[in-house]
Each structure stands twice: as structure tokens, then as C-alpha cells.
A and B are shown apart, each in its own frame.
Chain A
């Protein structure tokens, strides 16, 4: 027998011994061995060598040779392939290739076959999988593990299989030191700790929440073989079923609708955020499954970017980042060179930028220490203003663009702008100037003109313009910068355009003049590769995610791409379900012109959706005119509704079958703190340290809940797709594969990373910080910032010079818009003030509903995460108020408006308009100007006081009141901050 075959047989003998020995050592492995009684074998394809493994009564016997009764077979075309892949440090490229081209075949029924494969591979690392040989042993039975959240990283103390406590991570001596910034004769270096915010600090209560889904459930009056009673969704109760039954029903319905209607008849929707970790994230485990079954995806509106995508992008590109400006080294430049920072619709203390916990808070504290002047422009005296102080300017909701135009008018008239930059680095200024000066419409955009619209005194607009125009100023439009309430309003597109045009007048990219608020752009090492969640994790989808940029060429995978291009726009799901039809304009990541092609649902020859697979969270809390979503569930077009959810809340209460998912604390995962990849490129620059997490499985899943990955794998097995789904990997294997695909193995061994749970990357040496954002552009150099976008295909020919516009320059007059529709009244070629479709200018409506509702992203929850669910955030008196035994959402109102209506502090009130009504606890506060009502979006609790979809809503879903209109007609974007309401005392039951 040749040498390789002998090695193959020796390998198999070793495997058998490993399973036996480790099974004796670890009871958890022994239990797994007991799961099946069968004979399996591993052999070469030609039958010339092999070994059988017989599992009987929990024991394994194994001998060289072939067994005729083997029901599971692992077959290798060559012994070399087995030697490369049947080992803990598997050659994944060889394995994937072998599976793809049928050189490695796992034969037999999927459930036992995958069980056998997992048994072998996990036995090779049994101490990790079954012996919990990870974390720090603190004695007394306490281990300190690590996990991650959207609000920061945590140490998780575990004892007796329960979470004892979760704390922020204080760094130790052995962790790399932080950077230092020298500014104004002082040295600034971040403290030796990683911060968490409020939706990072309350997780223990959410894990052990009474609202957890702990068992698979079926709606009592949903019968797939009889009456489905869609009209009772949200009304009728549930009965507990087994996982086998749940899998049988769900896989049965997937098979049925695919056969009856076509593959695209399965429609799935995820939330905007998930429990943290790149294996379990929606782009990863969920997309991998849905792409395998060819399901129709939800096309998200650019959630919090809205106006940036459909507005600012046309001036300077950045399509792959949803129109957001560059952040690089702006923390350093701002502290060193800026005289003033303008926060415009920017509240990073509430939104943490995005996943940034309170990392930026520490840096803004330095702003305070240095006495750098700040201005806050926001209709609410927000938490960043509360922390930093400074001048507060409160334009009426949705009128910010008018104020911005008046600043440009003053600069133009008084010469307070960078004329050289405008002349040499921009195009189309003259056209905009004509509009500003009133030469186009007869209306000069003066401070007096804006006063009538915004309510901001003309003299203050003039003072701001002169101050800004004569000092080096950073502008933070939105929280990162990017995002911001003002962009989520009617014609919020124009606000984002105004923001970038103002900065173009000031010559952004020169020292001290840039976009930023110290939330982003910390001096960290951007050359070090680690993926973010939107890079697709285990999905392997090179088409729809940003995997195509990096991860695909570092992590071989199988069958990742979406099988259908059909999508449903999230803001029109209820109409798409009802009418089997939708038309919209989608944001395109790759090119500017992408967003001009109208999209349609359904695609020709495709089935519209007939089965809805919903993945956690709440449309009713987060989507505009949200009664629509509750009503939608009664539609008979939806033959089956599945909801895979950790908690019984939001849309889960409208499902036919509920699949109980577990939290990230109950499964393995891997991540970088705050790094979402893709659409917020290098988002980890929010942090003071780059920190990578091996998210330990801290406890076993509660009740019968299972990890998302496990649920999808189990369903895939029943659809004959299990092997294609897992590609021979467990969740921890996938985490290891992502580790190996990153640059991390250069810094730390897998074993050490697994044990410790985190790694802190050394900061770059002084003098090696990234170049400051846009300085390359300001100085007309080749781009030198660490970005892989835009794509060459959407770039004018001189690669890496200039912007993603036709001229390659910043365009005040947008050539892309001129080509698309030069006469579009909602998106003119130059930035203009366009009155809101719902505001003070809509006179008839305003007479009936004289209060403007602003509903920013919440401070104490991350969308619906952390809110409701019997969690501890309920007890934060600035988040909810406890009245009559219930926790009510808060609406905030100026004292004069409250007095006029005879309303009192802590009184239950009803916010209402023609779309519905919401019951809130009233907080009377001078932080809100008269005429404005402030109440955060994204209550996790949807509790109609009667028929879902029409009755007053008592959980605090203020999106019940907001309009479903896009912020401009040719878009797919929210206008939720353009909302008129009236407020009255709530007369109903408490």
C-alpha cells in the first residue's frame, strides 16, 4: 500500500481514538455520541481504503475496513485531501474546493451525516468545545468570559452556568498602550478602558428577561392543512410545540410555497441591528440560509442616512458609504486646528455615532477642556448640548436648510469663504450663487428670509455666519458625521446637500476645516485587516454585501450568492403584500447612477411573497405609519408567517410559528468592537482602541432556545441543504475561519485569543497616523486615505484623483441630477429650500395639528434593543415613566404648550393625527421649544388598546403617527421627522 494511503488509515485510526478518549473525558461529548445509533465510515472513493465507526449505546467501536451497513459515509477522492482537511487546522480552501467539485462527499441522511462530521471535528478540539477551556478562572467557580454588544464589549462573569455579572472591559498592563494626540501644548491619551453605553450595560436583564421566547410556539388557530385564519394574527394565542414539529412545519411550508409558487415566494425581513457578532449577524447566518433557498429579500431604505444617499452623494460621491464624509484623523486635526465645532442635528451622546459606546465622549471632554467653541443646531436641546454647553440654535423642525442657505448668502455677500477652493476645486458655484442671491426666483436667501421659516432670529443667523466664516470650523452634520434627524425628514436630501455645500464654501480638507465631532477618526491602525459585519461573515455573498471588497478573497466559501434579485422595499412592505406590487427608487452602493433606475416588485416571472420569514425586532416601533404593518399581518396573501426572535415582542406577536433564538451570550461568535464594515467604512475609528473579540459562549441557550445559526442549519438539513449551509463547519469553526481570514493571526495565536477573548491592536506610531480626511483633495493630490471606494467603474478615468462625480470635482450644481431630471422640483440641480410636505407650510393640516413631532433615534435603547422586554432600561426615568403599574414612553413638550392645553407633568397624554394616536407620559421641559413635541422613535412595545392597526397605541410607537411618504418621491427613504400632531389628555384606561 502506498505511503499516503497508510497515512490516511493512520489518520482515521487516530480520529476514532480521539473520539473515544475525549468522549470518556468530557460528559458533554459523551452525550453527543449518544445522539445516534448507526454505522458511519470514512473511505476513499475507489473503496481501496477506509474505516468504519459504529455508534451503539453511547460507545464507539471502530475498525479498519469497510462496513456494508454504513448509513453515513465521508468519501474522499484522494488520501491527500483527507490529510489536508480532517484536522483541527483544516486547509479550508482545499476543503471548500473538494466539496464544491465532489471530491469530498458526505453521504447519507443530512441530520446524522452532519452529526458525524461535527463529532469528528469537535472531538479534535474537545477541550474547547466540551471542556470550556476558555476564559479566565477567577476561583470559587467563577470564570470571566468575553462578549460583545452593539453598545460595546463586555466581560461576562459566569458561575454555575449562569451569568453573574457583565462589566465594561478595563484594559490590563499586557494590553497595548493607546495613542497620544498633542494639541495646544497638551497631551491627550485615552483612558485604559473600553466604554459601554446604556444598551451595552443592561444585557444581563435581557438574557434572563421574562419576555424571552423559550420554546417553539404555534398560533392556536393556524392550521397549514386547514384554516389558516390570517385575520387572527396578533389576536389569537399560542401553543407550545416541539422543535421537531416546528422544523417540520417551517421546512414543510418552505417546500410547499417554493413548489406551488416559486422560490421567491419566501420573503424575509430582518431588523436594522442584531445581537453582535459576525457569525450570528443577519448578513451572515440569515443571509446564507435565505440565499440558499432563493428567498426574496427586503431592500432596506438607507435607514438612518436617508437624505445623504439621495442628496449629498450627488455633490461628492461616497456611494459605498451612503454619502457619508471621510473621517480619517479628524480627531487629531479638530483638537489641534479647529476654533469651533458646529453640531448640526448631531447628538453623538445619544446615538454613540454608530456602535461607538462612549468612546467619543472622552474625546469631546477634551474639546471642553480646551475651550473650543461649540454650537448646537437642533430643535431639541440634545444630550451632546447638555454635556458640552455652548450656543443652542433651534430651527423649527424640518427647516434647517433655510438657515443653512442664509449662512451661504452671508458668506457670499461678505466674501467669508474660501474663494480659491471654490474656484479651483469645485464646479457650478455660480449657478448656486444665483439661487442664493435671488436672481433665479427673486428671493434672496437672507437671514431675514430664513427667520420667517425657521424662527431663528436673523441676527443670530448672521452672527453664526460671520463667526463660522472667519474661524476654522468643524461641522458635524448628524451624529457620526452622517445620519441626523434632519436627513430623515421631508426633503432632508436638501439639508445634507446644504451641509456639504457649506463645507465646500469653507474649503474642507484644510487644517481645522472638516467634517467631524470627535466621534469618528481616532488615530488607529487602518492598515490592519479585520472584517466588519456587513462584509458578510459566513454568508459568502459577493453580490449584495460588501464581502466583494475583502473577505471573499480571504475566506473561501460555497454557494453564497443570492439566487434571486427580487426584493421588496421595506417602507412599502404592507402595500407590496396587499397589492402584490411596489415601485421605488433604491439606493445604489456602487455607482451614483444606480439610484436613478426605478425598481419594481414583483420581477417578471417571479412569484410575489406568500410566506413571510421575519427575523426579530419591530416594524411597528421603527417604520413610519406603522399601523400599516400590524394590519398587513391579517392579509391572506401571507399564507405562513414565521418569526425567529429572542423576545416575544413587536412583530413576533403576529407570527404563525415562533422560533426561539438565543442571544449572543449563548453562542460562539467573533467580532471587532464597533466595526460594521462596508457602508460605514472603518467604523472602528469611533473607538479609542481597535479591539477584536472572541465572543465566548458564556452559558447554554436558555430554555429550548437555539442560536440563529443552529436554527438555520437544522432547517437546512430538512431541506436537503444542510451540508451546503455549514460547509463542514460549526459556529466556532466559522469564528476561527474569520480569525484566519483576518490579519489577527500575525498578532496572536488562536489558542490564546480563544482563551483570553479579546486582543487590543497596538496604536500606530506617532508620525504614522493616517492623513487627514480630504486633505488630498484640498491640495489636489492623489487620494491617500485608506478607502477602497469608489469602485473604478464609477470613477472618472484618473483613478484616485478627485471625487465620484462627472467632473471629478465637488459639484455645487450636480451633473448627475442634471442628467436624470433637470426640472425635478423635489431634487433640483442645486441645493434649494423646499417646504416640507408636512409642516407649518401645510396650512390646512397645521391648523388642525399645530405641533411638530420630532422623533430621533433613542438614547437609552438601540432602536428596539434594550427597550421593553421587562429589561432594566424601563426603569430609567428619562426613558420611560412608571404610571399605574406600567412603563410608558415619554413625550416632551414646552411648558407654554402644556399650559395652553392644561396638561401636567407625568400625565398620560395622547399624541394624535389622522394616522393614529399614541399614549405617552408627558414630560414638560424647556429643552423643547414651543410648537415642538419630542419623542424618540423605536419603542419595542406595540400595544394597541383594541384592534391592531387602528386602536390607540399604548406602548409608545410614535411611528404610528409619522408619514410613510419618502423624503423625496423618487427615493426609498423616510420622512419621519415631518409630522404634525396634536396632544390631549388621555381619557382611556391606565
Chain B
């Protein structure tokens, strides 16, 4: 049976926060019972966007992670919500405002921090997938509709289809914990968010003759074995991406003789600076 999924692609997210604004626009001041009571204007977030910065000047990159509720298949909030949290046949997980009233703060039920308590309404709340709109025929929830490059999308798909796409590497769960809960939030290009880079640049010559070594072969070794190879760009730069933490070595091969760095312990993305050949 088809189920609703969120797909987020950090390659297309420009960090504009239109999704947050759209969520607030829809849910603050509006009562969409029984789907949801109004959200608080401030200090309550049914989705979050966080900035992921890797490296620092002169080699840095930035991506964002936008994370609404995963509407998990094995949602702890449904299991332990005492009937206050329900899962619809289309996979949308809703906190029933009526049943949740009087149950206090249910935020402990979500291991991912996606449930928040609204003391103004006296009820715990979370992302509703804008079910009140989807049920009226809207093609996307508000957050996704406002996304300029469609980095965040809702897809209505068979679980088998999604499993196939995940197996093919096109999609990935946010992490193992989300996967274990059967989260409906999948990432495209997940490597932008959960891997490291090791970069640097190669220079040659001295004084006014010093130039960036372009097109210079550079290899990355792990445990003595080559894991990646590339050529430097016009600025003599290389950037090995998609790495896990570990001990690496960089081998620069400008010509006759290779130059090998000392072992580098990579715990966070960084540039090793200029290698002169």
C-alpha cells in the first residue's frame, strides 16, 4: 500500500528556510483540528534546517539538512502514545489533539526530537505532513511547495519501490536509528551530509615563478591502499570527498618521483594546506 515519504536532497537545498516560514504560515494562528491545533509562533519547530559546514578557509563547503518528522513505520510515539498518536493508512503519523490533551509533554516519545510541547494549547505537537491539505488534493505539503529547487519533496509511493531505490544507492535513510524506526524521511546525495573531505593544494616553482600545479595526479591511501585518485585543478587543488574518519595518506605524483605525506588522522573535514613540489 502506498505511503507518504519525505525526500530531501542537500545538493538542492540553498538554506533559504522557506520551509520553516511556510510551516509557520500554515500552522500559526490556524486551527486545523482534528489534524492539528495552532503551532506556536516562536520556539516551536515542526521541522528544522541545520547548517553543515565542512572545513574552513581556504577550503570549506556548506550544506543543509532539513528534517521534518519521519512519520516512522515503527514509530515509538505511536507505540507508546497511549492512543494519542495514530498512524494513518497512508503512513501519516498524527498526534490527535483531543486525545493528547491532558497527557502532558510527549516529546520524550520521539528519539529524534520531532515532538514538542505547546504550552499555549496544552498539547504535544509535531509535523502533520499538512495532511489537511493533502486530503484536499494538494500535491505537496507547504514546506515542500515553498522550496525553490524542490530539495524537499513528498512522494506517495509503494514501500517496495522505496526499498528498491534505497538499495540502488539513490536514496539513503538519515542514519541507522532512523532506518530502525522505519522513518519515511530519505536523503538523496547523503554523502554531502555524512562524510568528510580531505583536501589540499600543490604548488611548484619559487618566487615570481611559483605556480599552482595543475593537472597533477594525486592519490589517497588508506591502510596503504589507494582509495581515490584525482588530478589537481587549475588552482592546484585536490579534494577527496566521501570519506569516513580514519588515517589517510596523500600521494602526489608530479612526475618522476612521488611525494607521500605523513599519515593524517581525519576526524573532521580539512585541507592539509600547500604541498610544494
Residues of A within 8 A of B21 (CB): 198, 201-202, 872-873
B235 within 8 A of A: yes
CA separation between A386 and B11, bound complex, in Å?
10
Scoring B residues 215 to 252 as 1 if CB is less than 8 Å from chain A, else 0, what string do you get? 00000000000000000011111000000000000000
Scoring A residues 871 to 892 as 1 if CB is less than 8 Å from chain B, else 0, what string do you get? 0111111110010000000000
CA separation between A389 and B210, bound complex, in Å?
25
Instruction: Considering the complex, give the chain A residue whose CB is closest to the CB of B270.
Output: A926
A349 within 8 A of B: yes
Known: A361-B148, A448-B208, A927-B53. A463 touches B24 (CB 8 A): no
Question: Which of A358, A387, A389, A462 gathers the greatest number of chain B CB atoms within 10 Å?
Answer: A387
Known: A164-B30, A168-B145. A205 touches B41 (CB 8 A): yes
B86 within 8 A of A: no
- Pairwise interchain contact A872-B41, C-beta atoms closer than 8 A: yes
A647 within 8 A of B: no
Residues of B within 8 A of A4 (CB): none
Instruction: Considering the complex, give the chain B residue whose CB is closest to the CB of A387.
Output: B14
- Pairwise interchain contact A201-B25, C-beta atoms closer than 8 A: yes
- Pairwise interchain contact B148-A195, C-beta atoms closer than 8 A: yes
Task: Pick from B24, B60, B207, B234: contact of A202, CB below 8 A.
Answer: B24
Question: Which of A197, A462, A872 gathers the greatest number of chain B CB atoms within 10 Å?
Answer: A872
Which bracket fits the contact residues of B?
35 or more
Task: Pick from A349, A386, A389, A870: contact of B41, CB below 8 A.
Answer: A870
Instruction: Considering the complex, give the chain B residue whose CB is closest to the CB of A201.
Output: B21
Smallest distance from the beta carbon of A946 to chain B beta carbons, Å? 27
- Pairwise interchain contact B57-A876, C-beta atoms closer than 8 A: no
Task: Pick from A197, A458, A870, A873: contact of B210, CB below 8 A.
Answer: A458
Known: A198-B17, A362-B148, A882-B43. A928 touches B211 (CB 8 A): no
Residues of A within 8 A of B60 (CB): 381, 392, 926-927
Residues of B within 8 A of A463 (CB): 211-212, 214, 234-236
B162 within 8 A of A: no
Scoring B residues 55 to 66 as 1 if CB is less than 8 Å from chain A, else 0, what string do you get? 111111111000
Smallest distance from the beta carbon of A175 to chain B beta carbons, Å? 17
B51 within 8 A of A: yes
CA separation between A201 and B26, bound complex, in Å?
11
B8 within 8 A of A: no
Residues of B within 8 A of A459 (CB): 203, 205, 210-212, 236
B15 within 8 A of A: yes
How many A-B contacts are there with CB distance less than 8 Å? 152
Task: Pick from B41, B56, B146, B233: contact of A391, CB below 8 A.
Answer: B233
Q: Which residues in window 137-194 of B have CB below 8 A to A? A: 142, 145-146, 148-149
- Pairwise interchain contact A365-B149, C-beta atoms closer than 8 A: yes
Smallest distance from the beta carbon of A524 to chain B beta carbons, Å? 19
CA separation between A412 and B214, bound complex, in Å?
22
- Pairwise interchain contact B51-A391, C-beta atoms closer than 8 A: no
- Pairwise interchain contact A358-B212, C-beta atoms closer than 8 A: no
- Pairwise interchain contact B17-A878, C-beta atoms closer than 8 A: yes
- Pairwise interchain contact A394-B149, C-beta atoms closer than 8 A: no
Task: Pick from B15, B28, B234: contact of A467, CB below 8 A.
Answer: B234
Residues of B within 8 A of A358 (CB): 14, 16, 148-149
- Pairwise interchain contact A925-B211, C-beta atoms closer than 8 A: no
Task: Pick from A198, A362, A870: contact of B18, CB below 8 A.
Answer: A198
- Pairwise interchain contact A167-B17, C-beta atoms closer than 8 A: no
Q: Which residues in window 27-75 of B have CB below 8 A to A? A: 28-30, 41-43, 45, 50-51, 53, 55-63
Residues of B within 8 A of A928 (CB): 57
Q: Which residues in window 106-160 of B have CB below 8 A to A? A: 142, 145-146, 148-149
CA separation between A927 and B57, bound complex, in Å?
6
- Pairwise interchain contact A394-B57, C-beta atoms closer than 8 A: yes
Smallest distance from the beta carbon of B152 to chain A beta carbons, Å? 14
Smallest distance from the beta carbon of B134 to chain A beta carbons, Å? 14
- Pairwise interchain contact B16-A198, C-beta atoms closer than 8 A: yes
A452 within 8 A of B: no
CA separation between A875 and B16, bound complex, in Å?
13
- Pairwise interchain contact A876-B17, C-beta atoms closer than 8 A: yes
Smallest distance from the beta carbon of B207 to chain A beta carbons, Å? 8
CA separation between A464 and B50, bound complex, in Å?
33
B22 within 8 A of A: yes
Can you list 25 contacts pairing A with B, beta carbon distance less than 8 Å? A165-B30, A165-B142, A167-B25, A168-B146, A196-B146, A198-B16, A201-B18, A201-B22, A204-B29, A208-B29, A357-B148, A358-B148, A365-B12, A383-B15, A392-B60, A448-B208, A457-B274, A462-B211, A463-B212, A466-B234, A873-B17, A873-B21, A878-B17, A926-B55, A929-B58
Interface contacts beyond A448-B208, A860-B17, A876-B20: sample of 9 additional A-B pairs, CB < 8 Å, sorted by A: A164-B30, A167-B145, A196-B18, A197-B16, A197-B18, A198-B16, A386-B62, A872-B42, A930-B57
Report, nearest first, the 9 A-B pairs whose CB atoms are least far apart.
A926-B56, A358-B148, A386-B62, A201-B21, A929-B57, A463-B212, A872-B24, A202-B21, A459-B210
